[in-house]
Amino acid sequence: MRNDQFWSSGSNCIPAILNTVNNLSEDSYFFAINMKSHWTWCSESARRHFEISDAYVEDVMAALAKQVYPEDMEEYNWAVERRIRGEDIEGELCIRMKGIQNDYDMFSFHMDRYRDPEVGADYILWVLKNENILPDFDALTDLYSKTKYQSDLERVIQETDGCLAILKIRIEGFNTLNIIYGTAFANHVLQEVALAFIFKMDENSAVYRQDGEKFAFILKHCSRDSLIAYEQRVRQILSEEIYVEGQHISLKISSGAIILEHYRGDASVVQSQVAYALNHSTREHQGNLIIFNDEVQLSRHVDLDLMKVIHQSVRDNCKGFYVEYQPVVNSKNSAIVGAEALVRWSMEPYGKVPPGMFIEWMETDSSMYDLGNFVLRTALNDIKPLLEICPKFFINVNISARQLERPEFRGAVLQMLEETGFPAENLCMELTERCRDFPVEIIRKEVEFFQSHGIRFAMDDYGTGSASSDIVMNVPMDEIKLDMSFIRGIQENPKNQAMVKSIVEFANESGMSTCLEGVETEDLQDYLRSYGATWFQGYYYSKPVPITEVEKLLRSQDG
Protein backbone atom coordinates (compact mmCIF):
# COMPACT_ATOMS: atom_id res chain seq x y z
CA MET A 1 0.00 0.00 0.00
CA ARG A 2 1.24 3.53 -0.90
CA ASN A 3 1.12 6.67 1.23
CA ASP A 4 -1.47 8.24 -1.04
CA GLN A 5 -3.69 5.17 -0.71
CA PHE A 6 -3.56 5.18 3.07
CA TRP A 7 -3.58 8.88 3.96
CA SER A 8 -6.65 10.60 2.63
CA SER A 9 -4.87 13.83 1.70
CA GLY A 10 -2.16 11.93 -0.15
CA SER A 11 0.60 13.78 1.70
CA ASN A 12 3.97 12.11 2.07
CA CYS A 13 4.81 14.48 4.91
CA ILE A 14 2.22 12.99 7.30
CA PRO A 15 4.12 9.76 8.12
CA ALA A 16 7.40 11.69 8.22
CA ILE A 17 5.96 14.08 10.80
CA LEU A 18 4.53 11.22 12.86
CA ASN A 19 7.84 9.35 12.79
CA THR A 20 9.68 12.45 13.96
CA VAL A 21 7.26 12.97 16.84
CA ASN A 22 7.38 9.29 17.78
CA ASN A 23 11.17 9.18 17.80
CA LEU A 24 11.22 11.84 20.51
CA SER A 25 10.08 9.15 22.97
CA GLU A 26 11.95 5.96 23.77
CA ASP A 27 9.01 4.29 25.47
CA SER A 28 6.08 4.85 23.07
CA TYR A 29 5.17 3.34 19.70
CA PHE A 30 2.70 4.90 17.26
CA PHE A 31 0.19 3.26 14.88
CA ALA A 32 -2.61 4.63 12.70
CA ILE A 33 -5.52 2.51 11.44
CA ASN A 34 -7.45 3.53 8.33
CA MET A 35 -11.05 2.64 9.25
CA LYS A 36 -12.06 2.29 5.60
CA SER A 37 -9.34 -0.08 4.40
CA HIS A 38 -8.48 -1.47 7.87
CA TRP A 39 -4.80 -1.32 6.99
CA THR A 40 -2.43 0.01 9.65
CA TRP A 41 0.52 2.36 9.32
CA CYS A 42 3.36 1.61 11.79
CA SER A 43 5.96 4.15 12.88
CA GLU A 44 9.64 3.37 12.35
CA SER A 45 10.30 2.78 16.05
CA ALA A 46 7.25 0.48 16.29
CA ARG A 47 8.48 -1.56 13.32
CA ARG A 48 11.92 -1.93 14.87
CA HIS A 49 10.67 -2.85 18.31
CA PHE A 50 7.90 -5.23 17.32
CA GLU A 51 9.80 -6.71 14.36
CA ILE A 52 7.27 -5.58 11.72
CA SER A 53 8.79 -5.62 8.25
CA ASP A 54 6.52 -3.15 6.40
CA ALA A 55 5.28 0.34 7.14
CA TYR A 56 1.73 -0.72 6.18
CA VAL A 57 0.25 -3.98 7.45
CA GLU A 58 -3.15 -5.49 6.82
CA ASP A 59 -3.47 -7.34 10.13
CA VAL A 60 -1.74 -5.39 12.91
CA MET A 61 -3.15 -7.70 15.61
CA ALA A 62 -1.35 -10.71 14.13
CA ALA A 63 1.84 -8.67 13.65
CA LEU A 64 1.92 -7.76 17.34
CA ALA A 65 0.56 -11.03 18.75
CA LYS A 66 3.96 -12.78 18.74
CA GLN A 67 5.17 -10.21 21.31
CA VAL A 68 2.26 -10.73 23.72
CA TYR A 69 2.70 -12.64 26.98
CA PRO A 70 0.91 -16.02 26.51
CA GLU A 71 -1.36 -15.62 29.54
CA ASP A 72 -2.52 -12.21 28.23
CA MET A 73 -3.33 -13.45 24.72
CA GLU A 74 -7.04 -13.99 25.33
CA GLU A 75 -7.52 -10.50 26.73
CA TYR A 76 -5.38 -9.03 23.95
CA ASN A 77 -7.44 -10.66 21.18
CA TRP A 78 -10.74 -9.63 22.70
CA ALA A 79 -9.91 -6.09 23.84
CA VAL A 80 -7.77 -4.94 20.91
CA GLU A 81 -10.18 -6.23 18.29
CA ARG A 82 -12.95 -4.16 19.87
CA ARG A 83 -10.79 -1.06 19.81
CA ILE A 84 -9.78 -1.58 16.19
CA ARG A 85 -13.50 -1.62 15.41
CA GLY A 86 -13.76 1.74 17.17
CA GLU A 87 -15.42 0.38 20.36
CA ASP A 88 -14.32 1.25 23.91
CA ILE A 89 -11.48 3.43 22.59
CA GLU A 90 -11.17 5.36 25.83
CA GLY A 91 -11.22 2.26 28.05
CA GLU A 92 -8.08 1.44 30.07
CA LEU A 93 -6.07 -1.48 28.70
CA CYS A 94 -2.69 -2.90 29.78
CA ILE A 95 -1.08 -5.96 28.19
CA ARG A 96 2.29 -7.60 28.87
CA MET A 97 4.52 -7.61 25.78
CA LYS A 98 8.23 -7.95 25.10
CA GLY A 99 10.21 -4.89 26.13
CA ILE A 100 13.59 -3.55 25.11
CA GLN A 101 15.47 -6.15 27.18
CA ASN A 102 13.41 -8.96 25.60
CA ASP A 103 11.67 -9.45 28.94
CA TYR A 104 7.94 -8.95 29.27
CA ASP A 105 6.99 -5.39 30.21
CA MET A 106 3.59 -3.83 30.84
CA PHE A 107 2.33 -1.82 27.85
CA SER A 108 -0.63 0.55 28.09
CA PHE A 109 -2.83 1.10 25.03
CA HIS A 110 -3.98 4.67 24.28
CA MET A 111 -6.33 5.33 21.36
CA ASP A 112 -8.29 8.16 19.85
CA ARG A 113 -10.35 8.69 16.70
CA TYR A 114 -9.28 11.26 14.09
CA ARG A 115 -11.47 12.41 11.19
CA ASP A 116 -9.83 14.08 8.19
CA PRO A 117 -12.01 17.17 7.58
CA GLU A 118 -11.04 17.40 3.90
CA VAL A 119 -12.43 14.08 2.70
CA GLY A 120 -14.10 12.71 5.82
CA ALA A 121 -11.72 9.72 6.27
CA ASP A 122 -11.61 8.11 9.72
CA TYR A 123 -8.47 6.91 11.52
CA ILE A 124 -7.82 5.26 14.86
CA LEU A 125 -4.62 6.74 16.30
CA TRP A 126 -2.97 4.25 18.60
CA VAL A 127 -0.02 4.66 21.00
CA LEU A 128 1.57 1.73 22.83
CA LYS A 129 3.48 2.96 25.90
CA ASN A 130 5.98 0.83 27.80
CA GLU A 131 5.11 1.51 31.44
CA ASN A 132 8.32 -0.15 32.67
CA ILE A 133 10.56 2.50 31.12
CA LEU A 134 11.05 5.38 33.53
CA PRO A 135 13.03 8.64 33.35
CA ASP A 136 16.66 8.87 34.45
CA PHE A 137 15.77 11.24 37.31
CA ASP A 138 13.40 10.74 40.21
CA ALA A 139 10.62 13.35 40.05
CA LEU A 140 10.44 13.96 43.81
CA THR A 141 14.10 14.08 44.81
CA ASP A 142 15.99 14.91 41.58
CA LEU A 143 18.31 12.01 42.35
CA TYR A 144 19.07 9.40 39.73
CA SER A 145 16.13 7.02 39.30
CA LYS A 146 15.78 3.31 39.93
CA THR A 147 15.86 2.69 36.19
CA LYS A 148 19.15 4.54 35.78
CA TYR A 149 20.54 2.60 38.75
CA GLN A 150 19.89 -0.64 36.92
CA SER A 151 21.46 0.51 33.67
CA ASP A 152 24.44 2.18 35.42
CA LEU A 153 25.08 -0.90 37.51
CA GLU A 154 25.24 -3.08 34.40
CA ARG A 155 27.67 -0.67 32.76
CA VAL A 156 29.89 -0.12 35.81
CA ILE A 157 30.20 -3.87 36.45
CA GLN A 158 31.60 -4.33 32.97
CA GLU A 159 33.87 -1.27 33.03
CA THR A 160 35.32 -1.13 36.55
CA ASP A 161 38.58 -2.87 37.37
CA GLY A 162 39.38 -3.61 40.98
CA CYS A 163 36.90 -3.22 43.83
CA LEU A 164 33.36 -1.97 43.36
CA ALA A 165 30.90 -1.57 46.24
CA ILE A 166 27.12 -1.34 46.11
CA LEU A 167 25.37 0.07 49.19
CA LYS A 168 21.62 0.18 49.78
CA ILE A 169 19.88 1.83 52.73
CA ARG A 170 16.33 2.04 54.07
CA ILE A 171 15.10 4.84 56.36
CA GLU A 172 13.43 3.01 59.22
CA GLY A 173 10.17 4.20 60.73
CA PHE A 174 9.45 6.44 57.77
CA ASN A 175 5.83 5.29 57.59
CA THR A 176 5.31 6.56 61.14
CA LEU A 177 6.74 9.94 60.11
CA ASN A 178 4.27 9.97 57.23
CA ILE A 179 1.33 9.25 59.51
CA ILE A 180 2.26 11.79 62.20
CA TYR A 181 3.27 14.74 60.00
CA GLY A 182 1.52 13.98 56.70
CA THR A 183 2.66 13.16 53.18
CA ALA A 184 3.82 16.67 52.26
CA PHE A 185 6.16 16.86 55.26
CA ALA A 186 7.48 13.34 54.65
CA ASN A 187 8.21 14.20 51.02
CA HIS A 188 10.05 17.31 52.19
CA VAL A 189 12.20 15.08 54.41
CA LEU A 190 13.08 12.89 51.42
CA GLN A 191 14.01 15.99 49.43
CA GLU A 192 16.34 17.21 52.19
CA VAL A 193 17.91 13.74 52.41
CA ALA A 194 18.42 13.76 48.65
CA LEU A 195 20.00 17.20 48.76
CA ALA A 196 22.49 16.00 51.37
CA PHE A 197 23.29 12.96 49.23
CA ILE A 198 23.77 15.03 46.07
CA PHE A 199 26.66 16.86 47.74
CA LYS A 200 28.33 13.50 48.43
CA MET A 201 28.44 12.48 44.76
CA ASP A 202 31.67 12.68 42.80
CA GLU A 203 33.28 10.87 39.86
CA ASN A 204 33.52 7.65 41.88
CA SER A 205 30.13 7.67 43.61
CA ALA A 206 26.51 8.08 42.58
CA VAL A 207 23.23 8.04 44.54
CA TYR A 208 19.90 6.68 43.32
CA ARG A 209 16.35 6.89 44.70
CA GLN A 210 14.76 3.45 44.95
CA ASP A 211 11.22 2.58 46.04
CA GLY A 212 9.81 4.76 48.82
CA GLU A 213 12.40 5.53 51.48
CA LYS A 214 15.22 3.42 49.99
CA PHE A 215 18.40 4.72 48.37
CA ALA A 216 21.24 2.97 46.54
CA PHE A 217 24.88 4.00 46.10
CA ILE A 218 27.37 2.82 43.48
CA LEU A 219 30.90 3.31 44.80
CA LYS A 220 33.72 2.75 42.32
CA HIS A 221 37.27 1.83 43.42
CA CYS A 222 35.94 1.29 46.93
CA SER A 223 37.70 -0.97 49.41
CA ARG A 224 36.06 -2.64 52.37
CA ASP A 225 37.34 0.02 54.78
CA SER A 226 36.18 2.81 52.45
CA LEU A 227 32.73 1.23 52.23
CA ILE A 228 32.38 1.04 56.00
CA ALA A 229 33.52 4.67 56.38
CA TYR A 230 31.12 5.82 53.65
CA GLU A 231 28.18 4.03 55.28
CA GLN A 232 29.03 5.55 58.65
CA ARG A 233 29.09 9.03 57.10
CA VAL A 234 25.66 8.42 55.49
CA ARG A 235 24.34 7.26 58.85
CA GLN A 236 25.75 10.39 60.53
CA ILE A 237 24.22 12.73 57.93
CA LEU A 238 20.75 11.25 58.40
CA SER A 239 21.04 11.27 62.17
CA GLU A 240 22.45 14.79 62.64
CA GLU A 241 22.12 16.98 59.56
CA ILE A 242 18.51 16.80 58.31
CA TYR A 243 16.31 19.83 59.06
CA VAL A 244 12.79 20.44 57.75
CA GLU A 245 10.93 23.69 58.45
CA GLY A 246 13.50 24.52 61.14
CA GLN A 247 12.95 21.18 62.89
CA HIS A 248 15.75 18.66 63.32
CA ILE A 249 14.71 15.23 62.03
CA SER A 250 16.89 12.37 63.28
CA LEU A 251 16.62 9.41 60.91
CA LYS A 252 17.79 5.85 61.51
CA ILE A 253 18.65 3.45 58.74
CA SER A 254 19.26 -0.19 57.91
CA SER A 255 21.96 -0.87 55.35
CA GLY A 256 23.20 -3.72 53.20
CA ALA A 257 26.10 -3.86 50.76
CA ILE A 258 28.22 -6.07 48.55
CA ILE A 259 31.85 -5.78 47.47
CA LEU A 260 32.63 -6.91 43.92
CA GLU A 261 36.17 -7.63 42.83
CA HIS A 262 36.78 -8.17 39.09
CA TYR A 263 33.16 -9.29 38.77
CA ARG A 264 31.66 -9.46 35.26
CA GLY A 265 28.42 -11.29 36.03
CA ASP A 266 24.71 -10.47 36.03
CA ALA A 267 23.71 -7.11 37.53
CA SER A 268 20.27 -8.42 38.54
CA VAL A 269 21.95 -11.02 40.73
CA VAL A 270 23.96 -8.29 42.45
CA GLN A 271 20.79 -6.28 43.09
CA SER A 272 19.16 -9.28 44.75
CA GLN A 273 22.23 -9.91 46.89
CA VAL A 274 22.29 -6.31 48.13
CA ALA A 275 18.55 -6.46 48.86
CA TYR A 276 19.14 -9.70 50.76
CA ALA A 277 21.82 -8.02 52.90
CA LEU A 278 19.55 -5.01 53.56
CA ASN A 279 16.70 -7.29 54.59
CA HIS A 280 18.98 -9.10 57.05
CA SER A 281 20.16 -5.77 58.43
CA THR A 282 16.57 -4.77 59.17
CA ARG A 283 15.24 -8.03 60.55
CA GLU A 284 18.18 -9.63 62.29
CA HIS A 285 20.93 -7.06 62.94
CA GLN A 286 19.15 -3.96 64.32
CA GLY A 287 19.91 -1.98 61.18
CA ASN A 288 23.69 -2.40 61.31
CA LEU A 289 25.60 -2.62 58.05
CA ILE A 290 25.54 -6.14 56.61
CA ILE A 291 27.98 -6.94 53.82
CA PHE A 292 26.69 -9.77 51.64
CA ASN A 293 30.16 -11.28 51.25
CA ASP A 294 30.22 -11.94 55.02
CA GLU A 295 26.62 -13.10 55.39
CA VAL A 296 26.17 -15.84 52.82
CA GLN A 297 27.67 -19.15 53.85
CA LEU A 298 27.80 -20.86 50.46
CA SER A 299 31.05 -22.46 49.36
CA ARG A 300 33.59 -20.04 47.94
CA HIS A 301 33.40 -21.28 44.34
CA VAL A 302 29.61 -21.45 44.12
CA ASP A 303 28.00 -18.33 45.65
CA LEU A 304 27.84 -15.76 42.85
CA ASP A 305 27.67 -18.33 40.07
CA LEU A 306 24.88 -20.26 41.78
CA MET A 307 22.65 -17.24 42.14
CA LYS A 308 23.19 -16.32 38.52
CA VAL A 309 22.20 -19.85 37.50
CA ILE A 310 19.07 -19.76 39.65
CA HIS A 311 18.03 -16.42 38.14
CA GLN A 312 18.54 -17.82 34.66
CA SER A 313 16.51 -20.89 35.63
CA VAL A 314 13.47 -18.72 36.28
CA ARG A 315 13.83 -17.06 32.89
CA ASP A 316 14.17 -20.49 31.30
CA ASN A 317 10.58 -21.46 32.20
CA CYS A 318 11.57 -22.23 35.81
CA LYS A 319 13.89 -25.04 34.77
CA GLY A 320 15.18 -26.96 37.80
CA PHE A 321 12.39 -25.76 40.08
CA TYR A 322 9.82 -28.16 41.47
CA VAL A 323 7.24 -28.22 44.27
CA GLU A 324 6.99 -30.38 47.37
CA TYR A 325 4.09 -30.47 49.82
CA GLN A 326 3.93 -30.61 53.60
CA PRO A 327 0.63 -32.00 54.91
CA VAL A 328 -1.64 -30.00 57.21
CA VAL A 329 -3.71 -32.05 59.68
CA ASN A 330 -6.84 -31.67 61.76
CA SER A 331 -5.67 -30.85 65.28
CA LYS A 332 -8.28 -33.10 66.89
CA ASN A 333 -7.70 -36.38 65.06
CA SER A 334 -4.49 -35.80 63.01
CA ALA A 335 -6.32 -36.51 59.73
CA ILE A 336 -4.68 -34.90 56.70
CA VAL A 337 -6.92 -32.12 55.42
CA GLY A 338 -4.59 -30.07 53.23
CA ALA A 339 -0.99 -29.21 52.40
CA GLU A 340 1.38 -26.29 51.94
CA ALA A 341 3.22 -25.94 48.62
CA LEU A 342 6.98 -25.37 49.02
CA VAL A 343 9.32 -24.53 46.14
CA ARG A 344 12.58 -26.44 45.63
CA TRP A 345 15.47 -26.19 43.15
CA SER A 346 17.92 -28.79 41.93
CA MET A 347 20.37 -28.78 39.04
CA GLU A 348 23.71 -30.39 38.33
CA PRO A 349 26.45 -29.80 39.34
CA TYR A 350 24.92 -27.96 42.31
CA GLY A 351 22.51 -30.67 43.41
CA LYS A 352 19.60 -29.80 45.69
CA VAL A 353 19.96 -26.26 47.05
CA PRO A 354 17.99 -25.46 50.25
CA PRO A 355 15.30 -22.81 49.61
CA GLY A 356 16.65 -20.76 52.52
CA MET A 357 19.66 -19.99 50.33
CA PHE A 358 17.71 -18.39 47.50
CA ILE A 359 14.08 -17.57 48.36
CA GLU A 360 14.78 -14.58 50.60
CA TRP A 361 16.94 -12.70 48.13
CA MET A 362 14.80 -13.77 45.16
CA GLU A 363 11.78 -12.13 46.80
CA THR A 364 13.48 -8.80 46.18
CA ASP A 365 13.79 -9.48 42.45
CA SER A 366 11.14 -9.09 39.73
CA SER A 367 11.70 -12.70 38.60
CA MET A 368 9.90 -13.80 41.77
CA TYR A 369 6.62 -12.95 40.04
CA ASP A 370 7.12 -15.66 37.43
CA LEU A 371 8.48 -18.15 39.96
CA GLY A 372 5.56 -17.55 42.32
CA ASN A 373 3.09 -18.08 39.49
CA PHE A 374 4.91 -21.28 38.52
CA VAL A 375 4.50 -22.62 42.07
CA LEU A 376 0.82 -21.68 42.16
CA ARG A 377 0.02 -23.26 38.80
CA THR A 378 1.99 -26.41 39.64
CA ALA A 379 0.20 -26.75 42.97
CA LEU A 380 -3.25 -26.38 41.41
CA ASN A 381 -2.45 -29.02 38.79
CA ASP A 382 -0.90 -31.41 41.33
CA ILE A 383 -3.64 -31.13 43.97
CA LYS A 384 -6.65 -31.26 41.60
CA PRO A 385 -6.62 -35.11 41.28
CA LEU A 386 -6.49 -35.46 45.09
CA LEU A 387 -9.91 -33.85 45.37
CA GLU A 388 -11.39 -37.14 44.14
CA ILE A 389 -10.03 -38.75 47.31
CA CYS A 390 -10.76 -35.84 49.64
CA PRO A 391 -13.10 -33.20 48.10
CA LYS A 392 -12.35 -30.62 50.83
CA PHE A 393 -8.57 -31.00 50.59
CA PHE A 394 -7.03 -27.52 50.47
CA ILE A 395 -3.69 -26.18 49.30
CA ASN A 396 -1.82 -23.26 50.88
CA VAL A 397 0.48 -21.36 48.51
CA ASN A 398 2.86 -18.58 49.56
CA ILE A 399 2.29 -15.32 47.68
CA SER A 400 5.26 -13.02 47.31
CA ALA A 401 5.28 -9.23 47.41
CA ARG A 402 6.34 -9.27 43.76
CA GLN A 403 3.06 -10.98 42.87
CA LEU A 404 0.80 -8.91 45.08
CA GLU A 405 2.16 -5.63 43.71
CA ARG A 406 1.46 -6.47 40.07
CA PRO A 407 -2.05 -5.48 38.83
CA GLU A 408 -2.08 -8.35 36.34
CA PHE A 409 -1.72 -10.90 39.16
CA ARG A 410 -5.46 -10.83 39.77
CA GLY A 411 -6.26 -11.98 36.26
CA ALA A 412 -3.43 -14.51 36.26
CA VAL A 413 -4.79 -16.27 39.37
CA LEU A 414 -8.36 -16.38 38.09
CA GLN A 415 -7.16 -17.70 34.74
CA MET A 416 -5.14 -20.46 36.44
CA LEU A 417 -8.19 -21.53 38.42
CA GLU A 418 -10.30 -21.61 35.27
CA GLU A 419 -7.74 -23.52 33.21
CA THR A 420 -7.05 -26.13 35.90
CA GLY A 421 -10.67 -26.42 37.04
CA PHE A 422 -9.47 -26.07 40.62
CA PRO A 423 -12.18 -24.85 43.03
CA ALA A 424 -11.33 -21.43 44.43
CA GLU A 425 -12.59 -22.33 47.91
CA ASN A 426 -9.88 -25.02 48.17
CA LEU A 427 -7.10 -22.48 47.64
CA CYS A 428 -5.58 -20.50 50.50
CA MET A 429 -2.95 -17.89 49.65
CA GLU A 430 -0.44 -17.12 52.41
CA LEU A 431 0.97 -13.61 52.79
CA THR A 432 4.73 -13.89 53.16
CA GLU A 433 6.90 -11.71 55.35
CA ARG A 434 7.81 -9.13 52.68
CA CYS A 435 4.12 -8.52 51.87
CA ARG A 436 3.90 -6.84 55.27
CA ASP A 437 5.89 -3.91 53.89
CA PHE A 438 2.87 -2.84 51.82
CA PRO A 439 0.42 -0.30 53.24
CA VAL A 440 -2.47 -2.07 54.96
CA GLU A 441 -5.06 -0.48 52.66
CA ILE A 442 -3.36 -1.99 49.59
CA ILE A 443 -3.23 -5.44 51.20
CA ARG A 444 -6.89 -5.18 52.18
CA LYS A 445 -7.90 -4.24 48.65
CA GLU A 446 -6.11 -7.23 47.13
CA VAL A 447 -7.32 -9.68 49.77
CA GLU A 448 -10.93 -8.56 49.41
CA PHE A 449 -10.75 -8.96 45.64
CA PHE A 450 -9.57 -12.56 45.83
CA GLN A 451 -11.97 -13.37 48.67
CA SER A 452 -14.84 -12.13 46.49
CA HIS A 453 -13.93 -14.99 44.15
CA GLY A 454 -13.88 -17.58 46.94
CA ILE A 455 -10.13 -17.70 47.67
CA ARG A 456 -9.05 -17.78 51.32
CA PHE A 457 -6.12 -15.87 52.84
CA ALA A 458 -3.72 -16.74 55.67
CA MET A 459 -1.21 -14.60 57.57
CA ASP A 460 1.99 -16.66 57.60
CA ASP A 461 4.48 -16.61 60.49
CA TYR A 462 2.09 -14.57 62.62
CA GLY A 463 3.61 -12.91 65.68
CA THR A 464 7.08 -12.21 64.29
CA GLY A 465 6.47 -8.48 63.77
CA SER A 466 4.09 -5.64 64.50
CA ALA A 467 3.07 -5.45 60.84
CA SER A 468 1.44 -8.89 60.95
CA SER A 469 -0.77 -7.79 63.87
CA ASP A 470 -1.68 -4.60 62.01
CA ILE A 471 -2.73 -6.63 58.97
CA VAL A 472 -4.81 -9.11 60.96
CA MET A 473 -6.58 -6.27 62.78
CA ASN A 474 -7.40 -4.34 59.60
CA VAL A 475 -7.66 -6.96 56.84
CA PRO A 476 -10.34 -9.71 56.76
CA MET A 477 -7.93 -12.67 57.03
CA ASP A 478 -9.31 -16.22 57.08
CA GLU A 479 -6.43 -17.91 58.88
CA ILE A 480 -3.49 -17.25 61.17
CA LYS A 481 -0.40 -19.46 60.99
CA LEU A 482 1.68 -19.13 64.14
CA ASP A 483 5.41 -19.03 63.65
CA MET A 484 7.14 -22.17 64.85
CA SER A 485 9.39 -20.08 67.12
CA PHE A 486 6.41 -19.87 69.51
CA ILE A 487 5.92 -23.66 69.44
CA ARG A 488 9.54 -24.69 69.90
CA GLY A 489 10.07 -25.33 73.63
CA ILE A 490 6.57 -24.13 74.52
CA GLN A 491 6.10 -26.77 77.23
CA GLU A 492 8.89 -25.14 79.25
CA ASN A 493 8.18 -21.51 78.32
CA PRO A 494 5.26 -19.79 80.13
CA LYS A 495 5.54 -16.67 77.96
CA ASN A 496 5.11 -18.66 74.75
CA GLN A 497 2.23 -20.55 76.34
CA ALA A 498 0.43 -17.31 77.15
CA MET A 499 1.14 -15.87 73.70
CA VAL A 500 -0.15 -18.93 71.80
CA LYS A 501 -3.20 -19.21 74.03
CA SER A 502 -4.15 -15.55 73.51
CA ILE A 503 -3.63 -15.69 69.73
CA VAL A 504 -5.71 -18.85 69.30
CA GLU A 505 -8.49 -17.45 71.49
CA PHE A 506 -8.45 -14.17 69.54
CA ALA A 507 -8.65 -16.04 66.22
CA ASN A 508 -11.46 -18.33 67.40
CA GLU A 509 -13.52 -15.38 68.65
CA SER A 510 -12.86 -13.50 65.38
CA GLY A 511 -13.95 -16.40 63.16
CA MET A 512 -10.46 -17.18 61.87
CA SER A 513 -8.80 -20.58 61.63
CA THR A 514 -5.40 -21.19 63.23
CA CYS A 515 -2.51 -23.43 62.26
CA LEU A 516 0.34 -24.24 64.65
CA GLU A 517 3.57 -24.99 62.78
CA GLY A 518 6.56 -26.93 64.07
CA VAL A 519 4.77 -29.92 65.63
CA GLU A 520 7.57 -32.50 65.73
CA THR A 521 6.64 -35.08 68.38
CA GLU A 522 3.57 -36.93 69.61
CA ASP A 523 4.17 -35.45 73.05
CA LEU A 524 4.03 -31.92 71.66
CA GLN A 525 0.94 -32.73 69.60
CA ASP A 526 -0.96 -34.01 72.63
CA TYR A 527 0.06 -30.97 74.66
CA LEU A 528 -0.97 -28.46 71.96
CA ARG A 529 -4.45 -29.94 71.53
CA SER A 530 -5.57 -28.18 74.69
CA TYR A 531 -5.12 -24.78 72.98
CA GLY A 532 -8.00 -25.32 70.56
CA ALA A 533 -6.18 -24.51 67.29
CA THR A 534 -7.73 -25.67 64.01
CA TRP A 535 -4.78 -27.33 62.30
CA PHE A 536 -1.27 -28.63 62.98
CA GLN A 537 1.70 -28.82 60.64
CA GLY A 538 5.15 -30.27 61.22
CA TYR A 539 7.65 -33.09 60.81
CA TYR A 540 5.71 -35.35 63.18
CA TYR A 541 3.16 -35.83 60.41
CA SER A 542 5.45 -35.52 57.40
CA LYS A 543 8.36 -33.55 56.03
CA PRO A 544 7.78 -31.84 52.65
CA VAL A 545 7.34 -34.62 50.08
CA PRO A 546 6.49 -35.05 46.36
CA ILE A 547 2.82 -35.06 45.39
CA THR A 548 2.91 -38.84 44.89
CA GLU A 549 3.75 -39.30 48.57
CA VAL A 550 0.91 -37.01 49.60
CA GLU A 551 -1.47 -39.14 47.56
CA LYS A 552 -0.19 -42.30 49.29
CA LEU A 553 -0.71 -40.73 52.71
CA LEU A 554 -4.24 -39.69 51.77
CA ARG A 555 -5.17 -43.10 50.38
CA SER A 556 -3.79 -44.95 53.41
CA GLN A 557 -5.75 -42.62 55.65
CA ASP A 558 -8.89 -43.05 53.55
CA GLY A 559 -8.55 -46.83 53.69
Q: Can you give the pTM of this predicted structure?
A: 0.56
Q: What is the mean pLDDT of residues 184-206?
A: 88
Q: What is the mean pLDDT of residues 201-228?
A: 89
Model confidence pLDDT, tens digit, residues 443-484: 888 899 999 999 999 988 776 554 566 778 788 889 999 878
The CATH number of the structural domain formed by 306-554 is: 3.20.20.450
How high is the mean pLDDT of the chain? 84
Domain segments of the chain as ranges:
3-130, 146-296, 306-554
Any idea what DSSP says for residue 103?
Answer: S
Q: What is the mean pLDDT of residues 392-404?
A: 90
Q: Which long-range contacts (CB under 8 A, 24 or more apart) does 312-315 make?
A: 312/266, 313/345, 313/347, 314/362, 314/367, 314/370, 314/371, 315/103, 315/367, 315/370
The one-letter amino acid at 509? E
Q: Which residues contact 81 (CB under 8 A, 6 or more apart)?
A: 61
Contact 129, 111 (CB under 8 A): no
Model confidence pLDDT, tens digit, residues 302-323: 455 677 788 788 888 899 999 9
> Which CATH fold topology does 3-130 show?
Beta-Lactamase (3.30.450)
Share of the chain above pLDDT 90, in %: 34
| pLDDT value at 342 more than 80 | yes
Q: How many helices and strands (H and E) does the chain possess?
A: 22, 22
Contact 207, 201 (CB under 8 A): yes
Res 108: pLDDT: 84
| pLDDT value at 351 more than 90 | no
| pLDDT value at 194 more than 80 | yes
Q: Sorting pLDDT into bands at 50, 70 and 90, what band is 192?
A: very high
The sign of the CA dihedral 96, 99, 103, 106 is negative
How many angstroms separate the CA atoms of 527 and 496, rounded? 13
| pLDDT value at 544 more than 50 | yes
Res 19: pLDDT: 58
| pLDDT value at 423 more than 50 | yes
How many angstroms separate the CA atoms of 377 and 418, rounded? 11
Beta strands in 233-366 (DSSP E): 243-244, 247-248, 252-261, 290-291, 321-330, 336-347, 351-353
Res 448: pLDDT: 92
Q: Sorting pLDDT into bands at 50, 70 and 90, what band is 110?
A: confident
Range in 158-167, 430-439, 472-481 the model is least confident about = 430-439
CATH superfamily to which 146-296 belongs: Reverse transcriptase/Diguanylate cyclase domain (3.30.70.270)
| pLDDT value at 297 more than 50 | no
Rounded alpha-carbon distances, angstroms, from residue 194 to 140, 150, 402: 9, 19, 26
Q: Sorting pLDDT into bands at 50, 70 and 90, what band is 276?
A: confident
